[in-house]
Amino acid sequence: MKQYCIYLRKSRADAEAEAHGEGETLARHEHTLLELAKQRNLNVTQIYREIVSGETISARPVMQQLLLDIEKRTWAGVLVMEVERLARGDTIDQGIVTQTFKYSETVIVTPVKTYDPNNEFDEEYFEFGLFMSRQEYKTINRRLQRGRIASVQEGKFIGSHPPYGYQKKKIEHDKGFTLQPDTEQAKVVKMIFDWYTIGETEEGGFLRRIGSTRIAQKLNRMNIKSQQGRDWTATSIRQILHNPVYAGKIRWHWRPQQKIISGSHVIKKQKYLPYKDAEISDGLQEAIIPPELFQKAQEYLSQYAPVPIGQNKVLQNPLAGILICGQCGHHLIRHKDRKNDMLLCPKSDCPNVSSVLSYVEERLLEALEKWLSQYTIHIKSGLLDSSANTLQGSKSAIKKMDTELAALNKQLNTAYDLLEQKVYSIDTFTKRSGLLHQKIADIKNKRSLLQQEAELEAKHSKRKYNSIPKEETIINIYYRLNSITEKNAMLKEILEKALYKKAHGSRWSSRPDDFELILFPRLPHES
């Protein structure tokens, strides 16, 4: 008996209808399509529910799974409310949907019409329906964008989350939202702008401006958390200093999304526009910062814009990107001292003590050699046997699953017999066959995964065994290399990271090598 499935997806119009109290859309559509299946005696065994709203197939994971199953010819047909629910993306997405249904000979069943993609007239009707759906989507999207811009020009706040210092507030007797200052957070915003533009008072009564890094450190010492409840960073401080909302403005389209082609994929990126290029309007909210103070902050920010690292920079730390602070998780950085290159944590208040780079490098190589020796003994003594035991256990489990599959297929045949004898109603048969098909699919899926895991385990063990000579070679030739870049690349071949901890002493203590290293080797894996 042919198997059918149902695909449910909520549109923007459905969401608006729900907001006006018209009931849950997917539930209503599910009921309608199940009734349709009952009337036409279609064996529905699975329902795909898309709960996310996405323009493209890449943004709709359930649709991706449906198309994969259709390619495998799992379904004789798909029940959907209308063909427009299948694809509203660009011509590429529409082509993917059309070709998938056509070449798999899968029909599309709607309450109005059944489409056979291999029928010339149905195919044209189907493609025209998708085209019109795309045009409708673009029209709706243009209308929404015009509405957003109009709201911004009226001074309304249209973001999902209010910026730090404000709370979102519904506008009385009108549509939309505005912002109202949060008393405590607004004080912090004022402090940030004052410290950055005017300064803090030092001994002697002098004022000295402080930068974004020191402002973040001061707020963290005062135990003041950011909007997300985390510690402040220099970046989060600069984001506040750049945001004109604090001067009573509303900003929009300052971070537009760009789509670029990379290979055969469309990648979405966000580009930050300069203040002058964004959509800026007078806001309805009360300003926390005077406009002249905000403008002064922008002038300072433009003067001290970060300079990008030049392309001709030469790597001077062979452990760059490898060593991580065992206290706070930051990557350690190289610092040139009067005599030595030092390794230290960039976080100023971190208790981790710095060390001489050459000492850490030497200890790291010693630890790698020791680890490799133990790793080699372990691999050669027991890894292959362990792999054989795993494979044997997998074979036993697969044999048990085959027995369960035979029993379930027998139950499914019995269900068909009972349907033919009219012992089962359509509803009862649909539920029963659906459950059996689901159990069969689950076991087949588990069986396939188990088989793959067993094969991967065998390959993985073999790769580990074969990788030993490569790692021995890397350690043996490390000190013969003159290029720090080559040394760094070689270490990253066999090390994912290494944690560094030094709790006592100082860089000048009598025990400069009194620190702890924890290695995380990059074990061979399937690429």
Return the number of other C-beta atoms located less than 10 Å from residue 120's C-beta. 9
Residue-wise pLDDT for 201-257, tens only, equals: 766 566 778 888 889 988 998 889 988 888 898 889 988 998 889 999 888 766 666
Is a pLDDT exceeding 90 seen at residue 18?
no
Kind plus residue range of the DSSP H or E element containing 4: strand 3-9
pLDDT of residue 423: 80
Residue-wise pLDDT for 130-157, tens only, equals: 666 666 666 666 776 777 778 778 888 8
Nearest alpha-carbon partner for 324 in 506, 523, 504, 501: 501
- Choice between 390 and 162, residue whose per-residue pLDDT is larger: 162
List, in sequence order, every residue forming a beta bridge with 166; answer none if it has no partner.
Answer: 181
| Confidence category of residue 327, pLDDT binned at 50, 70, 90 | confident
- The architecture that CATH gives domain 166-303 is Alpha-Beta Complex (3.90)
Q: Confirm or reject CATH 3.40.50.1390 for domain 3-153, answering yes or no.
A: yes
Strands 265-270 and 257-262: antiparallel
- Choice between 272 and 181, residue whose per-residue pLDDT is larger: 181
Same topology, domains 3-153 and 166-303? Answer is no
Q: Give the separation between CA 292 and CA 299, rounded to whole angstroms.
A: 11
| Confidence category of residue 499, pLDDT binned at 50, 70, 90 | very high
Is a pLDDT exceeding 90 seen at residue 185?
yes
Kind plus residue range of the DSSP H or E element containing 398: helix 384-420
| Confidence category of residue 500, pLDDT binned at 50, 70, 90 | very high
pLDDT of residue 304: 54
pLDDT of residue 13: 55
User: 380: which 2 tokens?
Assistant: 């050669």
Is a pLDDT exceeding 70 seen at residue 450?
yes
Return the number of other C-beta atoms located less than 10 Å from residue 21's C-beta. 6
pLDDT of residue 174: 84
Domain positions in the chain are: 3-153, 166-303, 358-521
Nearest alpha-carbon partner for 60 in 69, 48, 52, 70: 52
Return the number of other C-beta atoms located less than 10 Å from residue 380's C-beta. 11
Is a pLDDT exceeding 90 seen at residue 79?
yes
Q: Give the separation between CA 232 and CA 238, rounded to whole angstroms.
A: 11
Kind plus residue range of the DSSP H or E element containing 148: helix 120-153
pLDDT of residue 311: 39
Residue-wise pLDDT for 363-379, tens only, equals: 888 888 887 777 665 55
Residue reference for tokens 């490098």:
361
Amino acid at 247: A
Residue reference for tokens 């923007």:
12
Strands 114-115 and 166-170: unpaired
| Confidence category of residue 380, pLDDT binned at 50, 70, 90 | low
